Amino acid sequence: MTEMNEMQFDGFRSGFVALVGKPNVGKSTLLNAYVGQMIAAVSAKPQTTRRRQLGILTSEKAQIVFVDTPGMHAGEYKLSQFINEEAQYALMDADLILFVVDASQMPDKEDQALAAEIQALKEPGKLLLVMNKMDLVPAELAADRRTQFQKLLPFDDLIEISAVSAPGRDLLLEKVSSLLPEGPKYYPEDQITETYEREIAEDLIRAAALENLRDEVPYGIFVRMDDYKAREDNLRYIHATILVERDSHKGIVIGKGGLMIKKISTEARQKIEDMSGEKVYLELQVKVEKNWRNNPEFLRRYGLSHE
């Protein structure tokens, strides 16, 4: 059987690589850099990503299917249950887990909680510690910082990178490829994600809202894509509705004189244009959908439930 597999794949390696880490450690930046396009919303706020998202990188020697996982969430909402299940499924299915950390800071409770989730898996894949932002760590602190993060889990290896710039990224790819099993191409060579552009646009609108709104509002926000079509004038027309759970939140999202919704729209439009390479006309409205995070019918309708 082994000889047949070696002949069949001829040294080609492939597999699923889960990206794990707390918000703002650079997972989405790293994924976007590898596929050469914005497919994952970049935000310092948790819950920017609510579903597993694939980034597919194919070379002559390997096909690496990165799985950007949503952050584990401690809330009691049914939505929180779905987010946690998405993360757990990604970890269980992974051939390799990249535990991405912000090396410019000491390990904290969030890092420890993620490590505990991985330790709870019955048969975790191989573990690689990815120490991002090492360029921000003073030389005299580097050795101790490595030691502190290595205490979190029994890692198979460690690599240091800077996701924003090139140093270490190529080396990380080589390391990932070497740790994957021999296997087939799961996706066509030119495919970089399974996510449709309109779904990425939803994430980008939500990311713009998360970055601009007060802490009590963002996590009760849902973005519903109502229209996403190309017009004859080479313009992408997008109409979306931001759903909030309370009447008071609707006023906050709109802002005085409509200033907040205009700011969110402008930032989201720029991000969508960067992602799609098209000129975009974005129209947003705000409506109230009370208690949607605990509404099973609503969550099933929009693919946010495994039930």
Over its length of 307 residues, how does the chain's per-residue pLDDT go in tens digits? 344 444 577 889 999 999 988 877 888 888 888 888 777 766 555 555 666 778 899 999 999 999 887 665 555 677 767 767 777 777 888 999 999 999 999 999 989 988 988 888 877 779 999 999 888 899 999 999 999 999 999 999 999 987 667 768 888 989 999 999 999 999 999 898 877 888 889 989 998 998 898 766 767 889 999 999 988 778 999 999 999 999 999 999 999 999 999 999 999 999 999 888 889 999 999 999 999 988 989 998 888 877 6
Q: In what order do the strands lie in the sheet with 13-20?
A: 53-58, 62-68, 13-20, 96-102, 126-132, 157-160
Q: 2-179 has which CATH code?
A: 3.40.50.300
Helix axis angle, 247-254 to 259-276, nearest 10°: 70
Overall CATH class of domain 197-301: alpha beta
DSSP 174: H
Q: How far apart are CA 23 and CA 71, in angstroms?
A: 7
Most distant CA atoms of the chain, gap in Å:
70
Determine contact, residues 300/256, Cβ cutoff 8 Å.
Answer: no
Tokens for 212? 């601009």
Alpha-carbon separation of residue 220 from 101, 215, 252, 287 (angstroms): 27, 10, 12, 12
Tokens for 222? 């849902």
- Provide the CB-side half-sphere exposure for 122 (13 A, CA): 3
Return the pLDDT at 231: 80
Q: How far apart are CA 236 and CA 281, in angstroms?
A: 6
Return the pLDDT at 4: 42
Helices (runs of H) and strands (runs of E) counted in the chain: 10, 9
> Domain locations in the chain?
2-179, 197-301
Return the pLDDT at 257: 95
Tokens for 72? 């584990």
Tokens for 186? 């799961």
